[in-house]
Each structure stands twice: as structure tokens, then as C-alpha cells.
Amino acid sequence: MSESVKNARGVERVLRAMDTSDGAGVSLRRSIGTPQLDMLDPFLMLDSLSTDNPDEYIAGFPEHPHRGFETVTYMVEGAMRHQDSMGNEGILRSGGGQWMTAGSGIVHSETPEQENGLLQGFQLWINLPAKDKMIDPRYQNMEPDELPEISPVDGAELRLLAGSMHGATGPINGISTDPVFVDAKLDAGAEITVPLPEGHTAVVYVFIGDAIVGGKDVPTHHLAILKDGDGVTLKGGPEGGRMLVIAARPIHEQVVRYGPFVMSSKQELMQAFDDYQRGNFVRKAAS
């Protein structure tokens, strides 16, 4: 079974992810939010973490604030403990994830729950429209068994965090940019078409093996920026490939950002710093 697509997307550009570090010295690869690609409306940042060296991840991401956007964390392998100022706490395990709408402000931390072994995962930052930047923070947790796993064609496995396709729907809901977020694993030569809403900004990030995306070769740790259309055809490379397919509706608004705050004006940005320094971000009510 293959989804009906009338206007398949080609590839506008392929970029190699940049080696960098964040948090308390965690080594990662960044493909959006770099000098070569500052943002891709509404995507602000895409980081890929993949290392079996604990020295490169053990310090994690100590307590830090966010306001005005959403963070999506998806664990491929390993475990990460999440804690935030709303009182949420949990462990993200292999195949699980979280969609956190920071909104008016939240403070959180992410700490590896392991001292050795492979830690592999992603964090995506998505902008919020100006009208939603000060909404109440929201946290959607995804346990591994809550993500639909489908195999529409032989040699292709899809895991859906957000969006609907091939008769399945991801658990994430109520997001203003109407996102699609799919983990696609393809055997060598296996081919599948993933439907995507027309007009959405869309990318494919290959993180294991390589793939042919929209007719173009995309190696490991490269990001393919897609042209417009209603879907994209993916094909596993000579040794197969695994990739994220991500799409969301662009916002087309001014973005004024600094560090963990993403606002619509300089005044709002200054207010965010002031509110954080005064301790005005959301805190769990005392019981």
C-alpha cells in the first residue's frame, strides 16, 4: 500500500550537520540553527545526539528556561530524565518522546539516565505564532508503545509522533503549526511515499545509513530541505537508511530570539529576560 501523492516534493538543498556542543558540554550535530541555516520557518533548531562515549553526554542539560516556542525531544536509544518547573518528571526511553510547549515560560533540565552505552536522540525547536507565545505551558509525553508503528510496504517501517498517514495517527495533538513527525526506517532499496501537507515547510534528516530523498542522494547526518508538494518519496540506500521526516506550517512572522527565548519583538525579548530574572516563569503550586 502506498499513499496517493499527486505532486511529489523534490529537494531544494542538502546540508551537512555541523558538529557543536550544548548544555554542559554535550557533543551533538546541529542542522538547523547554524550559520548556514539560521532557521527554516517555523523550525528554529534541530540537534542530533549520537555517541557511545559517556564523556560526551553524561553532564546533560542542566536547568534552563524557555519561552515563546516548543521543544520536541525524541529518544532513539538510551534514557534521559526530564524535570521541569510545572512539576513534571519522567524518563524518556528508547522510542519515546515529549512535546513541550514552553509558552509563557518554563524551566527544565534533561539529564542522561545512564553512565555508558549509546545515547541517540533528537531535539527540535518549533516557533509559536505571536498570539500563542504567552499561552500556558503544556507537556505531552509519549511512551514508546504509544507511537503507532506501521509497515505500509515491505522493508519500510514508520513510527509516527505527529500527523496521519497510511491509516495511522501520531499521539501529538493541539499544535498550532499542524506538524508531521515520522521516524522512517528503510531496508536497502525499499521505497515509500510519505504524504505531507502542501504549503508546509518540510525536511528529511538521515541519521543512519543513507537514502534517496525526492530523487536525490542524502548521506548520513545530512539534512534535505524539501520543495513544496503533497508528499515525498524515500528510498533506502545500499545498506538501508533511517531518517526523520518533519513538516510544519510556516508562521510568516518576525522572529526576535536570544538563547532560550523566542519572541516577536525586542520589547518582548527584554520582558522575557526580566520575567525570568524575577522568578515569574511557571512554577508548580505549593501543595
Instruction: Name the DSSP class of 87.
Output: S
User: Residue 273: what residue type?
Assistant: F
The whole model's pTM is what?
Answer: 0.92
Q: What is the pLDDT of residues 22-55, one digit of tens each?
A: 765 677 899 999 999 999 999 999 999 887 776 6
CA 189 to chain centre: 26
CA atoms of 143 and 181, how far apart (whole Å): 15
| Rg for the chain, CA atoms, rounded | 18
List, for residues 2-23, the tens digit of each pLDDT value. 567 899 999 999 999 999 877 6
Model pLDDT for residues 216-249, shown as the tens digit of each residue: 999 999 999 999 999 999 999 999 999 999 999 9
Query: Cell 550559520 identifies what position?
Result: 35
Write out 99-130 in H/E/C secondary structure.
Answer: EEECCCCEEEEEEECCCCCCEEEEEEEEECCH
Measured distance CA(191)–CA(172) in Å, rounded: 26
* Cell output for 250: 510556516
Average pLDDT score over the chain: 90
